[in-house]
Amino acid sequence: MTDAPSYTANEILAVLSARQLKDGQVVFAGIGTPLLAATLAQRLHCPSLTILFEGGVVGAFVEPGKLPPSTNDQRCAKRSNMVLGSADVLLLMQRGYVDVGFMGGAQIDQFGNLNSSFIGDPQAPKVRLPGTGGGNDIASLTNIIVAIKHQKRRFVEKVDFITSPGFVRGGKSRTESGLLRGGVFRVITELGVFGFGEESGRMKVLALNPGVTREEVQDNTGFTLEFDERLETTAPPTTHELETLRLIDPDRLFTA
Amino acid sequence: MLEAQVEPYKQLRDNMARRDRGLREKVTTLEAAASFVQDGMKVGLGGSTMSRTPMALIWEVIRQRRKNLSVSRCIISTDGDLLFGSGAADHIVTSWFAQGILWGLSKVLRHGVEADGKHFEEWSHLAMGMRYRAGGMGVPFLPTRVMLGSDIAAIRPEAKQIDCPFTGEKLLLVPALNPDVALIHVQRCDAYGNAQIDGLQFMDIDLALAANRVILTTERIVSNDQIRRAPDQTKIPFFCVDAVVEVPYGSAPHECYGHYEPMLGHMEDYVAQVNADPVNGMRAYLEKYVYGPKSWVDFLALVGLEEVLDASRNGRSIYND
């Protein structure tokens, strides 16, 4: 038996996120881990994945070693199928052309709502965060995967501010808000893979990452987690997955 | 709350009727072009994040000591910092304001909003697009299916939720945004203002149509014959444009598609300096790089030939196989 390869938290985040994608899908990806994971999937099991960026790119094919510093830089557009205006690429989601939206976030709660706007009272914020960008659009219009670092201060019972809606207040509150399609269906962290109760809209653990215990996940979460009856343990990143990832991001721009 | 008074249609049309939309040469200096921006105006910026930022115009507006501007852009970064930090703008309308994913939060934004009475009016990215588009279409709003159920809508009373008169579905109406002046940087245009944009166009076409005046800077001015050889590349028609300035490297230290990528060494140093001390670090940066230089060329010299050439080599590599 060979030694299991070692990896960073950001690397397992990218690998497990990539595994969630299916070949042939149309994916709207944000910057950082989402861009990296979508590109990784494209080089592994999803050769016909179509990647969209909010800068206006349709059918991105990011060059290994030339990761863009944002999804609005020229590197995003090289070798793509098409460039559109930013509003028009976002409207593709509203019309329903996009299978999966893929994003990060600063803070998430039990209903999968994301906050990237304010820490503290929005009227007198302790910290003014960068804001939604396309995050609210992606979360409002598509089924999303969220890749996020697992820390107690990030996994809270109720976010200070809903920038990008998940299941809002649970139950039917998302659709009652007027959001008729989409919603958060997976959260990926360095500790596990999470889904949401069909009725409750509450987060539950679907799988633990290799070597991670139930207690460890719960201890790093600011609300009580449900564990799926068929709780699984995720297979560790393979050497092939990690080598491909490191080829795409040799400078460790998004995987340090 | 300061923003989003939708311009009445008659006023919008009267403003248009007063503009000289004839076919005439509009080439002028950076100083004269920037002086279209007056204190208290609504200014729209083209490009996005670190791309095709109209940096030379912003730089000149700051040098002219403008005040109380309300500035909008789909996504804002260093330019928002400079406008807040210099005191030129006290209100920024955008979807995202940070130093970029490589450097994270803007301490200049944080200081401005948390301690210095500045306003960051947040809309979703698509909402920004629909606001410019409504402005460009001459209608007071457009309906969207975003921001519903979120707290962004809760703190934006300017956006109105309605039940659709056709389907009964909930929709969010976002108000038209018609800036007094739009500042846009392009790869090339002719002396009349027929502007060709390579690569990502962001929201620039809607912004140009929406604004009551449009100032273009361009990497180079070409002949009208050259424009006519590739009319499909023309994204902004001349009659939208009020002034044209040829400013090579007019987006530095940000990127201009096909010409140069961001000047990352300069950006690294900039972020380290202003994020370490958003007041004094910014003051020192403005003194050295904005108020100090005699000209835009002088500013580029301060950024340094090595940076500029590196960025250019990377920029042109987009056309390599």
Does residue B158 belong to any structural domain of this protein?
Answer: no
Q: Provide the 8-state DSSP code for B311.
A: H
pLDDT over 80 (residue B101): no
Which residues of chain B lie closer than 8 angstroms to A174, CB-CB? 149
Q: Which residues of chain A have pLDDT under 70?
A: 1-3
Does residue B189 belong to any structural domain of this protein?
Answer: yes
CATH number at residue A135: 3.40.1080.10
Which residues of chain B lie closer than 8 angstroms to A168, CB-CB? 149
Whether A73 and B49 lie within 8 Å, measured CB to CB: yes
Across-strand partners of B104?
B100
Which residues of chain A lie closer than 8 angstroms to B311, CB-CB? none
Whether B96 and A78 lie within 8 Å, measured CB to CB: no
Query: Which residue of A lies nearest to B48 if distances are taken between CA atoms?
Result: A72
* B100 at interface of A, judged by CB pairs closer than 8 A: yes
Higher-confidence residue: B3 or A246? Answer: A246
Average predicted confidence (pLDDT) for chain B:
96
For B255, the closest of A74, A84, A126 (CB atoms) is A74
* B255 at interface of A, judged by CB pairs closer than 8 A: yes
Does residue B238 belong to any structural domain of this protein?
Answer: yes
pLDDT over 60 (residue B4): no
- Nearest Cα neighbor of A174 from A122, A100, A113 is A113
**pLDDT over 90 percentage in chain B:** 97
* B133 at interface of A, judged by CB pairs closer than 8 A: yes
Which residues of chain A lie closer than 8 angstroms to B48, CB-CB? 55, 72, 86
**pLDDT over 70 percentage in chain B:** 99
Distance CA A112, CA A159 (A): 9
Q: How many domains does chain B have?
A: 1
Does residue B221 belong to any structural domain of this protein?
Answer: yes
Residue range of the domain that includes B196: 9-88+178-319
Which residues of chain A lie closer than 8 angstroms to B262, CB-CB? 69, 73
Does residue A4 belong to any structural domain of this protein?
Answer: no
CATH number at residue B264: 3.40.1080.10
Q: Classify the C-alpha dihedral A84-A88-A90-A93 as positive or negative.
A: negative
Q: How many domains does chain A have?
A: 1
Per-residue pLDDT tens over the stretch B181-232: 999 999 999 999 999 999 999 999 999 999 999 999 999 999 999 999 999 9
The answer to whether A54 is a known catalytic residue is yes
In contact, A145 and A17? CB cutoff 8 Å? yes
Q: How confident is the model at residue B103 (pLDDT cuts 50, 70, 90)?
A: confident
Whether A72 and B105 lie within 8 Å, measured CB to CB: no
- pLDDT value at residue B1: 41
Does residue A176 belong to any structural domain of this protein?
Answer: yes
Whether B151 and A162 lie within 8 Å, measured CB to CB: yes
* B126 at interface of A, judged by CB pairs closer than 8 A: yes
Residue range of the domain that includes A210: 9-248
- pLDDT value at residue A1: 45
* B235 at interface of A, judged by CB pairs closer than 8 A: no
Does residue B76 belong to any structural domain of this protein?
Answer: yes
- pLDDT value at residue B104: 87
Does residue A256 belong to any structural domain of this protein?
Answer: no
Distance CA A105, CA A161 (A): 12
Size of interface A-B (CB pairs under 8 A): 185
Whether B105 and A132 lie within 8 Å, measured CB to CB: no
* Crossing angle (nearest 10°) for helices B55-63 and B78-85: 0
Query: Which residue of B lies nearest to A164 if distances are taken between CA atoms?
Result: B150
Which residues of chain B lie closer than 8 angstroms to A85, CB-CB? 129, 201-206
**pLDDT over 70 percentage in chain A:** 99
- Selecting among A11, A54, A190, A241, the annotated active-site residue is A54
- Nearest Cα neighbor of B49 from B273, B254, B299 is B254
Give the CB-side neighbour count of residue B80, counting CA atoms within 13 A: 34
Whether A132 and B122 lie within 8 Å, measured CB to CB: yes
Does residue A180 belong to any structural domain of this protein?
Answer: yes
Distance CA B270, CA B276 (A): 10
Does residue A254 belong to any structural domain of this protein?
Answer: no
For A70, the closest of B49, B127, B171 (CB atoms) is B49
- Nearest Cα neighbor of B255 from B63, B114, B47, B51 is B51
- pLDDT value at residue A2: 55
Whether B264 and A69 lie within 8 Å, measured CB to CB: yes
Whether A137 and B126 lie within 8 Å, measured CB to CB: yes
Closest chain A C-alpha to B295 CA, distance in angstroms: 27
- pLDDT value at residue A3: 63
Does residue B77 belong to any structural domain of this protein?
Answer: yes
